[in-house]
Chains A and B, each alone.
Chain A
Amino acid sequence: MLFRRAKNIKLPAFLQKPELHGTEKFLDRLIENLPNMVFVKDAKELRFVRFNKAGEDLLGYSRHDLIGKNDYDFFPKEQADFFTDKDRAVLAGNVIVDIPEESIQTKDKGIRILHTRKIPVFGADGKPEYLLGISEDITERKKAEESLLRATREQAALAERELVNRRASFLANASTLLSSSLDYHESLQALAKLAVPFLGDWCTITMLKDGGKYERVAAYHINPSKEVLMNELSSQYPIDSDKTAGITSVINSGKTLFTPFVPDDQIEKAAKDENHLRIMRGLGCTSCIVAPISSRGKIQGAISFVAGESGREYTQGDVAFVEELGRRVGIAIDNALLFESAQKAISARDEFLSIASHELKTPITALKLQLQIAQRNTKPSENITPTPEKLAKMLDVSSVQVNRLTTLIDDLLDVTRIEAGKLSFQFEMLDVSKLINETVDCYSEHFKEFHCPVTIQVDGPVFISADRFRLEQVVLNLLSNAAKYGAGKPIEVSVGVENGRVRISVRDYGIGIPADKYEKIFERFERAISAQNISGLGLGLYITKKIVQAHQGNITVRSELGKGSLFVVELPDAHALHLARTS
């Protein structure tokens, strides 16, 4: 009777047979033998009115203990609250409530997990009279599920740890490799080889060269039979200057290009022609990462990893790792370049010390020999002295040596002052034309020694604001060089004004300077020709340029080998300088 009134429960066909109607005994047996816990509570006080054997086994209480009691008599308060809340919800809503998981404290089996359905059973008045509960003990199933989940998680964590270890180990190997050689071309090819297949099926490394050109410095494919295709790619399709294309866009923007899945039509679109498409398809490209190679904020190139035959699909984790590798490569290249420039600087310094030693010892030798000759020829006890003519000559030669030494030391001091930013200037208004005439007059004897006649072309006074001593130094340096390298041919000096700039030019018709040395000759310790062939410290043009720059001017050179050189100094004229300073 009780069950037949339950809403939503349709009795199975065999129970609807007439001979079974009203057979409570049969139903009792049915309920009693169900493997799930079945209980009935009265709707009013939620006391147990019925319990089956499975329920007794599960809870550890006999039905005699349970009947007439409620949840608070057996279970902890939180559990009892939970059960009764659900019961009330079922009875108030007149609906079946499904509770997928609920914990219950049993007498002998500890806490068990139940899957429970609660069903309202209606009285004749249509109101809920009873609450029917059916609970399945899912504790073991839950344990099995949790155990499986834990195992899966542990496996994933282990795999993650292994990946982290492998990546750390790879980075350590890569760092060792990168620091093992200062020839970074060699290191990068070895790195590409080391990274495949760990990071992809193939790898290329492209560097940005001077003049904005790109060079693919390394390429490696896991499949040796694809080497031909890699070579074809490198030789036939060099990285072009199209700034929007993959690798170049990474180098120009400094941002990683990540394509987790590369569809074939994208390869088709990117291919330059049929041959390029054949090569790209042959190499395989299903997923790719192109990361920048950078150091100290400067992009030096890009490293790309491509998956093809392996079918690997890159993840964000791979992207972060490749970016880290790009940074390490950048630092290694930076170190190699710094080492290279340090080596050059050391070599330039050694050469300078050798030249400085030679240049300083030359006048000292002449001076010393002259003094020793004078000593040898002077014997006061015997009243022997050199003739006045000989003595005068010795003193002249000695004086010249002291001047040579002074000039050399002045040059060295000037360089030291320039390096320390302490080259000071006393600006005054002066006439450049007059200064040039005076300088040439003053050193006319010196130019005669080189057999280089000097002609001056000036258009009257030209006033500028300058340091007299330093400007004279500029003119003298240029004239001395013209004489030194002038092969005994004429030297022409001119002064003029053009577009508010004073132009001082010094032309010789001597040995000339190769075009690739135009910039270098203004650097410290640099000469266009080897040190053995010309005396001097190689500091003159460096000092000259620094002085000109301090006057807000610039110096340039044009030259032709065997035909001579033209040095042009441009300085702002007095009026232009005044305007520049007041604005």
Chain B
Amino acid sequence: MTATKKILVIEDDQYIRESIEMILESEGYHFISADNGKVALEKLCTMSELPSLILLDLMMPVMDGFQFRKELEKDSHLNKIPVVVMSADGQINNKQKQVDCVHYLKKPLELDDVVNSVQQYSA
């Protein structure tokens, strides 16, 4: 069952974030949200149970997705969480090499793609 799985959504745009939350909720996932990498790291540090998957935006204020991913790598536990990158950047194929992730989703996002990648990659 996927119902108990928890997904961390890191996205600075309030409306995209809320839309993803609605999708996850309707698919029976728990979720935690953050509007930048710094807030996400703070939340991860206080969690008793780590999320099964991180949906990560790249261009964000305060701490962007690139920096957040580097911070994750410093912690062996956090580094095990699979990361799916969501980006509007057309050059994502190049940047993917810089960001360690299991999959990337190109914006504008498709609902089915979001659902499928969460199902496929959540640990």
User: Which positions in A face B, CB cutoff 8 Å?
Assistant: 354, 357-358, 361-370, 372-373, 376-377, 397, 400-401, 531-535
Distance, CA A364 to CA B106, complexed state (A): 12
Verify if B18 is at the interface (C-beta below 8 Å from A). yes
A370 B19 Cβ-Cβ under 8 A = yes
CB neighbors of A among B88-123 (8 A): 88-91, 107-112, 114
List 10 additional A-B contacts (Cβ < 8 Å) besides A368-B108, A372-B110, A532-B61: A358-B107, A361-B108, A365-B107, A365-B108, A369-B114, A370-B19, A373-B23, A400-B15, A533-B62, A535-B61
Verify if B41 is at the interface (C-beta below 8 Å from A). no
User: Which positions in B face A, CB cutoff 8 Å?
Assistant: 12-13, 15-16, 18-20, 22-23, 26, 59-62, 64, 88-91, 107-112, 114
Chain A interface SS verdict (over half): helix
B91 A397 Cβ-Cβ under 8 A = no
- A372-B108 contact given A362-B88, A532-B60, A533-B61, CB 8 Å threshold: no
B15 A361 Cβ-Cβ under 8 A = no
Q: Which residues of B contact A369 (CB under 8 A)?
A: 16, 19-20, 22-23, 109, 111, 114
Q: Which residues of B contact A531 (CB under 8 A)?
A: 59
A sample of 30 cross-chain residue pairs with beta-carbon separation below 8 angstroms, ordered by A number, consists of A354-B91, A357-B89, A361-B88, A362-B13, A362-B16, A362-B107, A365-B16, A365-B19, A365-B88, A365-B107, A365-B109, A366-B13, A366-B19, A368-B111, A369-B16, A369-B19, A369-B111, A370-B15, A372-B110, A373-B26, A376-B111, A377-B26, A397-B18, A397-B19, A400-B15, A401-B15, A532-B61, A532-B64, A533-B61, A533-B64
Distance, CA A532 to CA B61, complexed state (A): 6
Q: Which residues of B contact A357 (CB under 8 A)?
A: 88-90
Distance, CA A489 to CA B22, complexed state (A): 32
Distance, CA A376 to CA B23, complexed state (A): 10
Residue in B22, B26, B64 whose Cβ sees the most chain A Cβ within 10 Å: B22
B16 A358 Cβ-Cβ under 8 A = no
Distance, CA A365 to CA B55, complexed state (A): 15
A527 CB → nearest B CB, Å: 12
- 3 shortest A-B CB distances, which residue pairs? A366-B15, A369-B19, A361-B88
Distance, CA A420 to CA B20, complexed state (A): 41
Chain B residue nearest to A404 (CB atoms) is B15
Distance, CA A367 to CA B108, complexed state (A): 9
Residue in B88, B90, B109 whose Cβ sees the most chain A Cβ within 10 Å: B88
- A373-B88 contact given A532-B64, A534-B61, CB 8 Å threshold: no
Chain A residue nearest to B36 (CB atoms) is A533
B17 CB → nearest A CB, Å: 9
A535 B89 Cβ-Cβ under 8 A = no
Q: Which residues of B contact A376 (CB under 8 A)?
A: 26, 111
Distance, CA A455 to CA B62, complexed state (A): 27
Distance, CA A21 to CA B103, complexed state (A): 138
